[in-house]
Amino acid sequence: MPVAFGPDELRFQDAVRAFLDEHLSADLRRGAALTPGVFAEPDIARPWQAILEARGWLVYHWPVFAGGPGWSRVQRWIFEKECAEAGAPALPGMGLKLVGPVLYSFGDEAQKAEHLPRLRSGEDFWAQGFSEPGSGSDLASLRTKAVRDGDDYVVTGQKIWTTQAQHANRMFALVRTDPEAKPQAGISFLLIDMASPGVTVRPILSASGDHELNEVFLDDVRVPVTNRVGEEGQGWTIAKFLLENERGGSSFGPGLVADLRRLLKATGPLRGELATRAVRLSLEASALEMTELRTAIELDAGGPPARRSLITKLVASEIRQGVDELAVDAFGPAGLQLPVERPFYGSDMPAPIGPAAAQPAAARYLNSRAWTIFGGTSEIQLTLIAKAAVGL
């Protein structure tokens, strides 16, 4: 299958590169390069979000009817590739990638009018309230309950591993509205104001010392019924739609290829076993990148989603961990430094030991252990592949 871009794709690629050269500042690039986790801090993510929104490219993956630019899947891939190569910060995915598509697909007109503009402007920062203690991969067993009381639901329960909830003023959550129904049938999808009485956020520090995760306690929190998306009991259907976006809504390959290239530039030539690992990872990342591009080309041509797309998250997780493990080993003792100060691009950070890229290496390695857990564990992914692709 040919993968060479035609004139239209090349012109688009040139336009994206020119835009990034002009608008992606050195400070934003540096902040992204020294971010050890999956998600950028708001102080670099929000400025980049505003720049893209002003250009009309923020919600590049949304359809035209919802305010997107109408790009093809190949154009989206090119944009993600160029952003990765340029070192752009990650965008706030919980809002733009997850709840945004839910709102324009399942929300009523009032919900769309209230939340979508504020999501795009950055006025609203969203967290995801799905996982609970004992209800992670088995999400249907969740126990947070919402009892109808007039025009409100009274919500009681606990959410955990809630990414960047310390920054969020909104949270979308799955709650149990019918305890008598079958597990999947009794779940609804609510939009919760984090400033509501009864909402408590407590930090969970990762092994690296980073604060990306939290637990959220909901004690008799009143949520207007008008903040329910879809019908009562439709939450499981909406959640499946959302999780498909989480697991496969963006390309992984371009970021992995770019990160490995930057790593090898920082370490210099590797030898022996390290060089062998670098070559293997480079080949795997490039193969994943071309697999994602091939899938985008097929979808643009009207073909059905290929079964191979089921493997991308699983493969990307393993490559991500391999790249971060290689970094720690390649930097040697400098790759083991783990300062407690955050962010790594802050003015009060101690001077790095060795190359600047070595300073976040240990934190990045520890954080990437979660890649085979979040968004569906590797075991869950293997089960999906076995059922849908192999027919077991």
Q: Which residues are catalytic?
A: 246
What are the DSSP E strand ranges found in the chain?
126-129, 145-149, 152-159, 170-176, 187-193, 199-204, 213-224, 228-229
Q: Are 300 and 74 in contact (CB under 8 A)?
A: yes
* DSSP string covering 229-284: ESSTT-HHHHHHHHHHHHHHSS-SHHHHHHHHHHHHHHH----HHHHHHHHHHHHH
What is the 8-class DSSP label of residue 135? B
What is the spatial distance between Cα 172 and Cα 176, in angstroms, rounded to a whole number? 13
Q: Are 19 and 51 in contact (CB under 8 A)?
A: no
Q: Are 111 and 191 in contact (CB under 8 A)?
A: yes
Q: Are 201 and 155 in contact (CB under 8 A)?
A: no
Three-state secondary structure call for residue 131: coil
**How many CB atoms are located within 10 Å of the residue 283 CB?**
10
What is the spatial distance between Cα 310 and Cα 315, in angstroms, rounded to a whole number? 10
Q: Are 189 and 102 in contact (CB under 8 A)?
A: yes
Q: Which residue reads 């569906």 in tokens?
A: 376
Tokens of 364: 């990045």
CA distances in angstroms from 94 to 38, 56, 124, 127, 183, listed in the order given: 12, 19, 11, 6, 25
What is the spatial distance between Cα 45 and Cα 31, in angstroms, rounded to a whole number? 9
What is the spatial distance between Cα 309 and Cα 119, in angstroms, rounded to a whole number? 29
Tokens of 296: 């985008």
